[in-house]
Structure 1
Amino acid sequence: MGIIMIFVGGLPFPSESSSSPQPQGWDTLQALLDHPFLESASSTFKAIPERKFSVPQESESERRWVYLFQREYATVDPAYVDFVGTDEATTCMGLAIRNPETGMTSVAHLDSPKVVDMGLSQMVSLLVQPNKDVELDVHLVGGFEDVSPNHGNCNTRSENQANLDGYSFPLAAKIVETLCKSRERFHIRTLCILRHNTRRDPEGNAYPIFNGFMVSTSTGSIIPASFDETSRCPAEIVRRIRVSASYEDSRWKGRLLETYETQTDLFKIAPCCWSLYQLHIALSLQNYSDSEILLMCSTSPSAEAPDFVKNLRRVWDYLIEYPDWRETFPMEQPRVFQRTAEGGWKAKRC
């Protein structure tokens, strides 16, 4: 057994042996889900009322925030930011990593196992000083049992069985595997994922209990949260488009999208180009019904938030109005936003 890099409840947590017949991370994830400390932590987290965040309702002392969209990450300094969070996660997961000695906090919205390895490296790069031994706190929230829980209990797995694992479980297993392999030491504090984040209706259909969270940078506390249009900013629509555009951009392959500059407390949206293909998709899909759009565009159609289709239509409207990405990024320069005195964001003049 190698050096143990995961801790739970103050104690080292052994990872699976290499002789396990399951894919890496599989058995360790199952054991973590069953751990009494993490089961209790999930129960405590679920007992906290979800905070519905809207900028006009917040006090002046709580308006310094950073919000992350799908596939984005940000590392924030408590000197500049009071809290950082994300939502809109169904089969995706939100990962928070915090240095308890400095309060530096990194949050990511992970949507695929393909971005986990590089993404974790991006997240911890500003959290730990060279030659400094520190145990980083980890919170993982999101995902749900989007397939039958029996699929996760098979002793042997064929290729066909692997296709039945849905989206949430493979993502969670990859995150756990990467934490185990990392050179950093991680103390898992919250693991409200998969069965711990699943509710069922009378017909047995599964839904996530929570789709998001926010972390207080000063205390390290984490609570369930949802955000509205006033708080998912700045440049909401452009950042949503950038998620789709990044799939066609080799520069972002395997990486999380950088949006926020830690040292300057600025949002800097790097230029991204959308193609005629994306415009074609927008024109093709805009006339479908809401239910048809859900089936075609979501990994979990029955579990999406009420504004899921509305936000897609807003993105398509923007693409149709501005088919040339250079109108959004004149002279191919990034869009930069600075914090206002009230804690919000405004475009920075060059």
Structure 2
Amino acid sequence: MIFIDGHPFSTHSSSPSQPQGNDILLALLENPNLISASSSFKANPERKFIASDEPGSERSKWVYIFQKEYATVDPALVDFVGTDEATTCVGLVIRNQKNGMTSVAHLDSPKIVEMGLSQMLSSLVANSLETELDVHLIGGFEDVSLQHENGSAISESPAYLDGYSFPLCSKIVDTLRSRDEKFHIRTFCVLGHNTRRDSDGNTYPFFNGFVVETASGIVFPAIFDGTSRCPDELVRRIRVSASYEDANWNGKLLETYDCGSDCFKIAPCRWTLRQFHIALSLLNYSDSEILSMCSTSPTAEAPDFVDNLRRQWSYLIEHPHWTETFPKKQPRIFARSSDERWIRS
């Protein structure tokens, strides 16, 4: 069940042939309370996370989530949990109002929403049906042209948008609506609320990341640098694409973090020789060709997008057998050191 400002939220479908999630999504985008909340979110300064001793760097304990991952954290052990590098993806936050336990997921496909939400809730509370849950959705943007191929304008309404972001957002809100838990949506900075345009009319996400302050539940725009997207950055990036060929992860979010021990446990994921050959092939393409072939939003990616892909492919070429990375099919475990850095155990 979805609640807005403490009241149950419902809408009547305007078209029997249109998915109910579309109608819910459009109504949420027009809700005055959520419009105000999106404006407040965007007015906050962007937090920058850097794992270094440089002046101004974040000194707190945080957990970083990559695409298709999720983590549930205890505010007694972790100060912040967040993600970035999202373009057409959507970040979902679910927080237990009573004890502050917070689960964050980086959703990249409608296919993982239902199971992913179940994974988040199973690790969040003992009985979620009796718990009031705060929800924040941040990410996605109007990632398709608002023009027909013949140049004639179409409606500005997201109901007429296809792309990647709209179907994902629609699936998320429809899944929240259909479950019995009480989801209080606090932030809804998605699609049009998270879209900016350049002088040529090209669209980009307003923000690519966010972080949750676990003690207060406040959500801020955020950006992480290469030193703070840890631990095991490269292997975790590879798992995102490899998981689509690993039946063990069909429809699931990737497991990363153990809440009780404040350790990262990177669950094993299989990759195949097919991916080895794909990596060999893709390394020969130019940067622009890689963007075109490998991104859902080529014009909106960060400057290091292609470099990160090349590093992944180089690793796959050097380690074609997944058991080299996950010996005996065991997870890769990382614990915090005394200076808050992650050390493999």
How does the TM-score come out when normalised to structure 2? 0.93
Matching residue of 2:41 = 45
Matching residue of 1:277 = 274
User: Any idea what SS the aligned residue of 1:214 has?
Assistant: strand
Separation of aligned partners in 2, 1:140 and 1:82: 20
Are the counterparts in 2 of residues 63 and 344 from structure 1 also a CA contact under 8 Å? no
Separation of aligned partners in 2, 1:115 and 1:332: 23
Separation of aligned partners in 2, 1:186 and 1:246: 29
Structure 1 stretch 124-133 or stretch 78-87: which is displaced more? 124-133
User: Any idea what SS the aligned residue of 1:299 has?
Assistant: coil
Matching residue of 1:158 = none
Length, aligned pairs only: 337
Q: How does 1:145-294 map to 2 (within 5 A)?
A: 145-148=142-145, 150=154, 153=157, 165-294=162-291
Structure 1: runs of 5 or more not aligned: 156-160
Structure 1 stretch 107-116 or stretch 275-284: which is displaced more? 275-284
Q: CA deviation digits over 1:94-144, x for unaligned, max 9?
A: 000001210100000000000000111111113233386222000000000
Are the counterparts in 2 of residues 270 and 333 from structure 1 also a CA contact under 8 Å? yes
Runs of 4+ in 1 over 3 A off after TM superposition: 15-21, 57-62, 148-155
Are the counterparts in 2 of residues 15 and 180 from structure 1 also a CA contact under 8 Å? no
Structure 1 stretch 277-286 or stretch 172-181: which is displaced more? 277-286
Q: How does 1:317-328 map to 2 (within 5 A)?
A: 317-328=314-325
Matching residue of 2:151 = none
Q: CA deviation digits over 1:142-192, x for unaligned, max 9?
A: 00001245467498xxxxx7xx60000000000000000111001000000
Separation of aligned partners in 2, 1:215 and 1:38: 18
Are the counterparts in 2 of residues 51 and 223 from structure 1 also a CA contact under 8 Å? yes
Are the counterparts in 2 of residues 293 and 309 from structure 1 also a CA contact under 8 Å? yes
- 1:59: Cα distance to partner? 7.8
Are the counterparts in 2 of residues 152 and 165 from structure 1 also a CA contact under 8 Å? no
Q: CA deviation digits over 1:67-95, x for unaligned, max 9?
A: 11110000111111111000111000000
Percent identical across equivalent pairs?
66
Separation of aligned partners in 1, 2:189 and 2:291: 25
What residue identity is the alignment partner of 1:35?
A: N
User: Any idea what SS the aligned residue of 1:190 has?
Assistant: strand
What residue identity is the alignment partner of 2:274?
A: Y
Matching residue of 1:70 = 67
- 1:257: Cα distance to partner? 0.6
Separation of aligned partners in 1, 2:182 and 2:55: 35
User: Any idea what SS the aligned residue of 2:309 has?
Assistant: helix
Q: CA deviation digits over 1:263-311, x for unaligned, max 9?
A: 1111111222221111111111112111110001000000111111010
Separation of aligned partners in 2, 1:309 and 1:124: 34
